Structure 1
Amino acid sequence: MKVAVLGSSGAMGRFFASYFVARGDEVVGYDLSPPDHPVKGLTLARSTKEAAERADIVLVAVPMPKTLAVVRRVSRHLRKGSTLIEISSVKGNSLRPLRLAVSLTGARLLSIHPLFGPAARRVGMKFCVIGGRSDIASARRLFPRSVLIPMSQQGHDRAMAYVLSLVQLTNLAFLSTIAKGMGLEQFGRAASPIASAQLSVARATLSQDPSLFSSIQTLNPYARETLSSMVGELTRLQGLLAKNDSKGLQRSYEGTSKRQSRSELQGSLRAVYSLV
Structure 2
Amino acid sequence: MLGKNFTIIGGSGGMGRVFGKYFKQHGFDITLFARDEKKLKIVAKDLGVKFELDLKKSVENADIVMVSVPIHSTSKMIKKITPLMKKNSLIFDITSLKQEVYKILSDGHKNYPINCLSIHPMFGPGIKNMKNYVILLLKIGGTEQYDEIINELIDIFRSDGFIVAETTPNTHDSRIALTLGVPHMLNILFLNLLKRTKEPLNELTRFTGTTFLLQKVLAESIIQSEMEMFGEIQIENAEFHEILDIFEDLIKEYKNTIKNKDLKGFTKLFSEALEYSKEDNHFKNSYEYFYEFMKILKEKK
Question: By the TM > 0.5 criterion, same fold?
Answer: yes
Separation in structure 2 between the aligned mates of residue 160 and residue 81 of structure 1, nearest angstrom:
31
The answer to whether structure 1 residue 239 and structure 2 residue 256 are counterparts is yes
| 1:166 equivalent in alignment to 2:182 | yes
Counterpart Cα distance in 2 of 1:79 and 1:205: 40
Query: What is the correspondence of 1:71-150 to structure 2 with a 5 Å cutoff?
Result: 71-124=78-131, 125-131=133-139, 134=147, 137-144=151-158, 145-150=161-166
- Measured after TM superposition, the shift of residue 223 of structure 1 is 0.8
Give the superposition deviation at 1:211: 1.4
Is contact 2:20-2:47 (8 Å) kept? no
- 1:269 aligns to 2:276 (yes or no): no
**Once the 2 structures are TM-superposed, how far is the Cα of residue 122 of structure 1 from its aligned partner?**
4.7
How does the TM-score come out when normalised to structure 2? 0.85
Alignment partners' CA distance in 2, 1:227 and 1:275:
34
Shift of residue 235, structure 1, vs aligned partner: 1.7
| Whole-angstrom CA distance in 2 between matches of 1:221 and 1:255 | 27
Cα distance in 2 for partners of 1:138, 1:103 equals 22
TM-score of the pair, normalised by structure 1? 0.92
Percent of aligned positions that are identical: 21
Structure 1 position 216, deviation (Å): 0.8
1:130/1:153 contact within 8 Å kept: yes
CA change 1:94–1:140 in 2 (3 A) is closer
Partner of 1:208: 225
Q: Tell me the distance in 1 between the aligned counterparts of 2:129 and 2:119.
A: 16
Distance 1:142 1:109 in 2: 17
Structure 1: unaligned runs, 5 residues or longer: none
1:11 and 2:14 equivalent?
A: yes
Q: Which range moved further: 242-251 or 133-142?
A: 133-142
- Are the equivalent residues in 2 in contact too, given 1:92–1:157 (CA < 8 A)? yes
The 10-residue stretch of structure 1 (128-137 or 171-180) with the greater mean CA deviation from structure 2: 128-137
Question: Which structure 2 residues correspond to residues 155-234 of structure 1 after superposition, within 5 A?
Answer: 155-181=171-197, 182-234=199-251
- Report the more deviating stretch, 24-33 or 99-108: 99-108
Q: Does 1:32 align with 2:32?
A: no
Q: Which amino acid aligns with 1:221?
A: A
The AA in structure 1 aligned to 2:177 is A
- What CA distance in whole angstroms lies between the structure 2 residues aligned with 1:55 and 1:3? 6
Take 1:238 and 1:77, find their aligned partners in 2: how far apart are those partners?
56
How many angstroms apart in 2 are the aligned matches of 1:44 and 1:94? 25
Choose which of 40, 44, 48 in structure 2 pairs with 1:41: 48
1:124-166 CA-partner distances (Å, limit 9, x unpaired): 2311112389497354134122111211100000001111111
Worse-matched range after superposition: 255-264 or 18-27: 255-264
Q: Which of 23, 31, 34 is the equivalent residue of 1:20?
A: 23
Given that residues 78 and 104 in structure 2 are in contact (C-alpha distance below 8 angstroms), is that contact kept between their aligned partners in structure 1?
Answer: no
Aligned letter for 1:109? C
Q: Is the 8 A contact 1:84 1:102 kept in 2?
A: no
Corresponding residue pairs, total: 276
SS of equivalent to 1:81: coil
